[in-house]
Amino acid sequence: MRISELAQRTGVTVHALRHYERLGLLQPARTAGGYRDYAESSRREVVFIAMSRKIGFSLKAIAGHLPAYRSGRLAFDDMVLAMRQRLAEIDREIAALGQQRRQVVDHIRWLREQKARRRRAAASPGPAARPWPSPTIPRSKEQR
């Protein structure tokens, strides 16, 4: 089948299919005219790639599992193990994002405090607003 038909039947864009081919994930035959000619089994492989990408597996990780998938040797237990490892990665990413979120909230609080301090300083006459020399500083005999 042609690339456009494979794209339509799998819901994967033609651009993505070409990218997978460049990476060696897909290896279509070529017609005499140079067109890509995908075997029916390619549909199943593309669905495997697309579903793996959807849950966050890297293309490198998918490439590692694809030969076993193609040959029917990718066991359910192996898939479950890979997905549990992916869950652990997701949990680490969520924890890192949570920490980053707390830092952003702290920065917002700090900036608001700075803004409030500046407003208070501008509204009340502080030491900088007193006339010079300050009447609270005793003058020496030479200054009088």
Does 33 fall in a domain? yes
User: What was the pLDDT predicted at 66?
Assistant: 95
Give the domain extent around 4.
Answer: 1-74
Nearest to 23 by CA among 66, 77, 70: 66
In this structure, what CATH number is given to the domain that contains residue 42?
1.10.1660.10
Query: Which tokens hold the place of 34?
Result: 């140079």
Q: Are residues 60 and 116 in the same domain?
A: no
Span 118-122, average pLDDT = 87
**Is the per-residue pLDDT at 124 higher than 90?**
no
User: What was the pLDDT predicted at 122?
Assistant: 84
Query: 86-100 burial, b for 16+ CB within 10 Å, e for fewer?
Result: beeeeeeeeeeeeee
Q: What is the pLDDT of residues 18-70, one digit of tens each?
A: 999 999 999 999 999 999 999 999 999 999 999 999 999 999 999 999 999 99
**Is the per-residue pLDDT at 136 higher than 70?**
no
Q: Are residues 55 and 114 in the same domain?
A: no
Cβ-proximal residues to 139 (8 Å cutoff; 6+ apart), any chain: 133
Q: What is the pLDDT of residues 87-116, one digit of tens each?
A: 999 999 999 999 999 999 999 999 999 999
Does 60 fall in a domain? yes
> What DSSP string runs through 10-44?
HT--HHHHHHHHHTTS---EE-TTS-EE--HHHHH
Does 30 fall in a domain? yes
User: What was the pLDDT predicted at 65?
Assistant: 95
Tell me the pLDDT band of 139, cut-offs 50, 70 and 90.
Answer: low
| Domain's final residue, options 59, 74, 89 | 74
Number of domains observed in the structure of the chain: 2
Q: Are residues 91 and 66 in the same domain?
A: no
- pTM here is 0.71
